[in-house]
Amino acid sequence: MGKRIREQMVRLLLEQKEGYVSGEEISQRLDCSRTAIWKHINELRNEGYQIEAKPKTGYRLVYRPDRVAPEELIPHLDTKYIGRKVRYQRSVASTQPLAHEWAKEGAVEGSLFLAEEQVAGRGRMGRMWHSPTHSGIWMSLILRPQIPLNQAPQLTLLTSVAITRALRKQTGLNIRIKWPNDLLIDGKKICGILTELRGEQDQVHYVVQGIGINVNATESVWPEELKLIATSLAIEAGKTFSRPELIGAICGELEALYEGYLNHGFAPIRILWEQYATIIGQEITVRTGLHSVKGIAKGLAENGALLLETNTGVQTIYSSDIEV
Ligand code: BTX
């Protein structure tokens, strides 16, 4: 309850731009007492907001901390359902299990779990995802597409395209996709996507798409081994970005592509994906379990699998790691 009032209060303060809003107006619009207002203002101050209180005039927002809390995100959302329901925690082990629990409780399509920090962020196949506080976007999106299980990898490709398009528009950086789930700038990773799902053969129950993006990270927050392979939008652009604004843009692209996918299938996504992909026409090595196969990446099959031209003919590769 208190949290909702604080969210509304931030919105009210934001509406004033540089101006003041009186205690009386806050109390009327939020239907709470002057004492309650004072209590919430102090709690916002504890969260890092700087709010000036001027006698006989009211309150004014002087500084907003950099947070991805719902009240910061909502002004940047232009979607019907993606990102409209948000759960937010400052610090979590990983947003993935929390989103799974929420999905099992019945979370609606488009629900988004956000955190400022993950202390045990997950990559694929038991790998870790480094998620230092306030430096990136760490979020899990719940989708409920009516598709068979074997089409679910298409969603990873769809999400890669949506994030690439949103980040290119917002930052002007040359972001490219490495199959199946990495986004790179000049060969260094800025984003990873982890698709987890529950379902039966002929029907997906729900999908949790974990999205990790290095936004304002500096190299100093990464362990040595990451410095060689990772980068952030801020390092590449030489300036910082508003994370809520980026999330809003990503939700918008995601919803547009997802709607297109549900109505027209995978073909339009496939064309876009091939435009942004790094590996088309290149020789790559694909590792599948104990084996590795060398070949030229030709593009995507209609179902989203990678087509690899080898000495023995074209092979269809499903999820695995590749080396360029
Ligand atoms: P992946 O298995 O493709 O990539 C993991 C590998 O990437 C690691 O082994 C490491 O080498 C490298 N790596 C780790 N952290 C970073 C980083 N911050 N930037 C660049 N490279 C890194 C990719 O898995 C899928 C990642 C999904 C992350 C999201 S965040 C929200 C959600 N919650 C959660 O726990 N995971 C997902």
Q: HEC states along 28-87?
A: HHHCCCHHHHHHHHHHHHHCCCEEEEECCCEEEEEECCCCCCHHHHHHHCCCCCCCCCEE
The Å distance, Cα 222 to ligand 1 centre, comes to 12
Residues 40 and 143 in one domain: no
CA-based end-to-end distance of the chain: 52
Q: Is the pLDDT of residue 193 over 90?
A: yes
Residues 186 and 48 in one domain: no
What's the sign of the alpha-carbon dihedral 214, 216, 222, 228? positive
Tens-place pLDDT, residues 241-284: 999 999 999 999 999 999 999 999 999 999 999 999 988 888 98
The pLDDT of residue 18: 82
Closest by Cα among 130, 136, 162, 126 to 258: 162
Closest by Cα among 51, 47, 67 to 59: 51
CB of 248 closer than 6 angstroms to any ligand 1 atom: no
The pLDDT of residue 66: 86
**What's this model's pTM, rounded to 2 decimal places?**
0.88
Residues 100 and 158 in one domain: yes
Question: Of all protein residues, whose CA lies closest to atom 30 belonging to ligand 1?
Answer: 212
What is the domain-level CATH number for residue 299? 2.30.30.100
Question: Which residues constitute the domain of residue 99?
Answer: 70-276
CB of 92 closer than 6 angstroms to any ligand 1 atom: no
CB of 295 closer than 6 angstroms to any ligand 1 atom: no
Q: Which of 117, 129, 175, 250 to mutate to test the pocket of ligand 1 (most atoms within 8 A of CB)?
A: 129
Question: Of all protein residues, whose CA lies closest to atom 36 belonging to ligand 1?
Answer: 122
Amino acid at 204: V
For β-strands 321-323 and 283-288, DSSP reports them as: antiparallel
Closest by Cα among 264, 87, 287, 98 to 196: 98
CB of 230 closer than 6 angstroms to any ligand 1 atom: yes
d(Cα 44, Cα 51) in Å, to the nearest integer? 8
Residues 171 and 236 in one domain: yes
